[in-house]
Structure 1
Amino acid sequence: MVERLQGKKVVGLKQTIKALKTGNCKKLYIAKDSDDNIRENIEGLAMESSIEVIYIDTMKELGRLCGIQVGAVAAATV
């Protein structure tokens, strides 16, 4: 179980996609309850770069792990 994302991170769909496309992503975190199309798109980008994907049960939980008060579809450590 992930307690909290440590180190430098990006939070949110746009910032996470940007980190994946620029090669700055070390680990990818995706909320399981996010939209299927969005999740599949991000997973595809991660597979292209051989980035480890960690699934978090809900967007609310992922937001909490990132230290924000709202839900997050995706986040990445950079």
Structure 2
Amino acid sequence: MHNITNGPKVIGTKQTLRALNKGIVETIYVAKDAQKQITLRAQELAQSQDVPIVFIDSMEELAKACHVEVKTATAALIKN
């Protein structure tokens, strides 16, 4: 799957934005089927910090990769 499966992570757009603002994000993951207005800010912030963005096909697939039951629009892998 993706590195998000096993590494330290935050799940959800609010947590992803918080981690990006702290400068501790290695990679962000964005579900392709999530609403743009929800994910756009995280994507822009990641791009401005040269943080790689990985697109996942669906919010359900991203949730599964993160081992959570609730669909999620974004998640982030945290630097060790």
Q: Common fold, TM-score beyond 0.5? A: yes
Structure 2 Cα separation of the partners of residues 48 and 69 of structure 1? 31
Q: TM-score, normalised by structure 2?
A: 0.89
In the other structure, the counterpart of 1:12 is 12
Structure 1 Cα separation of the partners of residues 15 and 3 of structure 2? 22
Runs of at least 5 residues in structure 1 that lack an aligned partner in the other structure:
none
Runs of at least 5 residues in structure 2 that lack an aligned partner in the other structure:
none
Compute the displacement of 1:13 (Å): 1.1
**Helix, strand or coil at the partner of 2:70:** coil
List 4+ stretches of structure 1 deviating above 6 A: none
Q: Deviations over 1:1-45 (max 9, x none)?
A: 537522110001111000011101000000011111122211100
- Identical counterparts, % of pairs: 35
1:1-78 aligned at under 5 Å gives the runs 2=2, 5-78=5-78
Q: TM-score, normalised by structure 1?
A: 0.91
RMSD, aligned CA: 1.4
